[in-house]
Amino acid sequence: MHRIDPHRQAARTRAAQQRRGSLRIALIAPPWIPVPPPAYGGIEAVVALLADELVAAGNDVTLFAAPGSRSRARVITPLAEAHPKRIGTALYEADYIAQVFTIIERAAAHGEPFDIVHDHSGFTAVAMADRLQTPMVHTLHAPFNAETRPFYERHGHKVDLIAISSYQRAQAPPGVHVHAVVPNPMRVADWPLQESKQDYVLWMGRMDPSKGAHRAIAAARRAGVPLVLAGPIQPGQEEYFARCVAPHLDERHTRYVGEVGGRLRADLFARARAFLMPIRWPEPFGMVMVEALATGTPVIAFPEGAAAEIVIDGVNGYLVESEAEMATAIDAAGAIDPRRARASVAERYDARLVAGSYESVYRSVLHDITARADALGARSPRRSAQHAGVSRGAQVEGLSAVLTT
């Protein structure tokens, strides 16, 4: 593997940062669904917005993503096809990350390395991050739980971890350092503000029991209002849907419209009387809540995970403890000002603000590495435990030629 002297790299980083304000960023999306997603795809939507805003800010961004992806960034698709029905399959994730890392290493070997790698892809990249000399930032899209805590205890030191909510950061196991909290982005202007609402309430998400479609059905029935359910039925969720959702479907009270995207998705949010979020799991963020609020639709949620950060009780929605309380809150939804609901996300989650926060994170990581290289001197051939490589900062030209070598 190509090795880079830390003193030389630190000097190059300082010089390059003095010459220019931009960064060379390798942004890694998951391999399963194109960016932006055609319909359902929370992480892919986040990556799409972040890539575009980082480019708009003057950075040189290369996006690694599933085939069919498009972006203002340079797009590279290592796999031959997307795998939306094989999400989490080790075969495809490992193949994808191995190819991405090879491309990043090849660029470094040609003297044209990236400044920083920003991973959104999952676990494989984190586990293998110490293979790279380029520092890696990893956004935590999954919660810390009994399965993931041991993983991050073993491998979290190889990257700089970024939480998407304060709640998620607080759940990190002892000894696992989370560098910063940066929420998921939303381009508020892309979502229509609808002040006059229809009578139905909306639930949207994966057909997983923890997401609570069956609880939304119970709450809507108690309130006596129509319910629209939207979202994919992913592999393994068929039994839950058949047992807990399908028996309640009819055209008058409870409708299931399947997976939706584009204008139909926005319209469903915008016209709803309220958006229901009856989750019973530690949701680390909850993008659907932010999307609903951007259209001026209040959110009624159980206070699980980050819901209590996104929903400001009585201002942009209500936090409730049960289906009965949710039904009562549905009756009160008209008291929420749609413009105030929209402003509550524009002030916190607008994509330009989030991209700026990530740029600050990148520069903080690079500054720490430069300072560490200066302090340790030639005795440090690799990054310390909190970092997986030493950044370069030189302007790169002709990357496409490097990538095809």
- At a CB cut-off of 8 Å and minimum separation 6, what does 304 contact? 279, 280, 281, 282, 283
Pairwise CA distance, residues 309 & 279, whole Å: 14
Going from N- to C-terminal start, the domains of the chain cover 6-185+351-403, 188-349
d(CA 191, CA 342): 10
Helix (H, G, I), strand (E, B) or coil at 283: coil
**Structure confidence by residue, pLDDT tens digits, 196-206:** 999 999 999 99
| Average pLDDT, integer, range 218-246 | 96
Q: How confident is the model at residue 386 (pLDDT cuts 50, 70, 90)?
A: very low
pLDDT at 354: 97
pLDDT > 50? residue 14: no
pLDDT at 7 over 60: no
Could you tell me the two tokens for 336?
């929420």
Interval 22-51: pLDDT, tens: 999 999 999 999 999 887 668 999 999 999
pLDDT at 9: 52
Q: Is the separation of the CB atoms in 362 and 369 below 8 Å? A: no
Average pLDDT, integer, range 101-118: 94
Q: What is the DSSP string of 133-164?
A: SS-EEEE--S---TTHHHHHHHHGGGSEEEES
pLDDT for position 374: 74
Vertex 367, ends 364 and 369: CA angle to 5°?
110
CATH architecture of 6-185+351-403: 3-Layer(aba) Sandwich (3.40)
Burial 298-321 (b: 16+ CB within 10 A, else e): bbbbbebbbbbbbbbeeebbbbbe
Model confidence at 400: pLDDT above 50: no
Specify whether domain 188-349 bears CATH 3.40.50.920: no
pLDDT at 97 over 90: yes
How confident is the model at residue 394, as a pLDDT?
Answer: 33
Question: Which is more confident, 2 or 293?
Answer: 293
Q: Residue 72 — very low, low, confident or very high, per pLDDT cuts 50/70/90?
A: very high
When mean pLDDT is compared across 14-18, 118-122, 183-187, the lowest value belongs to 14-18
Position 172 pLDDT exceeds 70: yes
Q: Do domains 6-185+351-403 and 188-349 have the same CATH topology?
A: yes
Confidence grade of residue 20 (pLDDT, cut at 50, 70, 90): low
Average pLDDT over residues 277-305: 95
Residue 390's SS3 state is coil
The whole-number pLDDT of residue 398 equals: 44
Flag whether pLDDT at 380 surpasses 80: no
Please state, in angstroms and rounded to a whole number, the distance separating the CA atoms of residues 232 and 85: 11
Q: What is the average pLDDT across 315-327? A: 98
Q: How far is CA 116 from the centre of its chain?
A: 18
What per-residue confidence (pLDDT) applies to 251? Answer: 79
Cβ proximity of 230 and 256 under 8 Å? yes
Which pLDDT value is given to residue 85? 80
- Percent of the chain whose predicted confidence (pLDDT) is above 90: 76
Q: Report pLDDT for 30.
A: 95
Mean per-residue pLDDT, 116-128: 96
Mean per-residue pLDDT of the chain:
88
